[in-house]
């Protein structure tokens, strides 16, 4: 049972990290609401006691910005 729980937790953590890495800023949507969604994903990451450095967070946001 303990092994099953650990597998489920690892799966949930993977989904959250995937959501973080797959984040995209869409030109047609309001940027503020998209950043709020991104912050909620970060909150989920922190509530699971995972850590992503601030510099990596900034790099991900910059990468997701459109070239315009």
pLDDT above 70 (res 34): yes
pLDDT of residue 2: 67
**Residues 32/34/39/45 CA torsion (nearest 10 deg):** 180
Compute the mean pLDDT over every residue in the chain, rounded to the nearest whole number. 82
The answer to whether the CB of 44 falls within 8 A of the CB of 13 is: no
pTM tops 0.95, yes or no: no
C-alpha span between 49 and 59 (Å, rounded) = 21
pLDDT of residue 21: 83
Q: Which residue has the higher pLDDT, 4 or 51?
A: 51
Distance of CA 44 to the CA centre of its chain: 8
**Sequence spans of domains, the chain:** 2-64
Local confidence band at 56 (pLDDT 50, 70, 90 cut-offs): confident
Gyration radius from the chain CA atoms:
14
């Amino acid at each position: 049972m303990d092994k099953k729980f650990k597998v489920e937790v690892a799966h949930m953590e993977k989904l959250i990290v995937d959501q973080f890495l797959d984040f995209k800023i869409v030109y047609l949507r309001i940027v503020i609401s998209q950043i709020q969604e991104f912050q909620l994903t970060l909150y989920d990451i922190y509530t699971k006691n995972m850590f992503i450095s601030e510099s990596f967070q900034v790099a991900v946001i910059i990468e997701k910005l459109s070239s315009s």
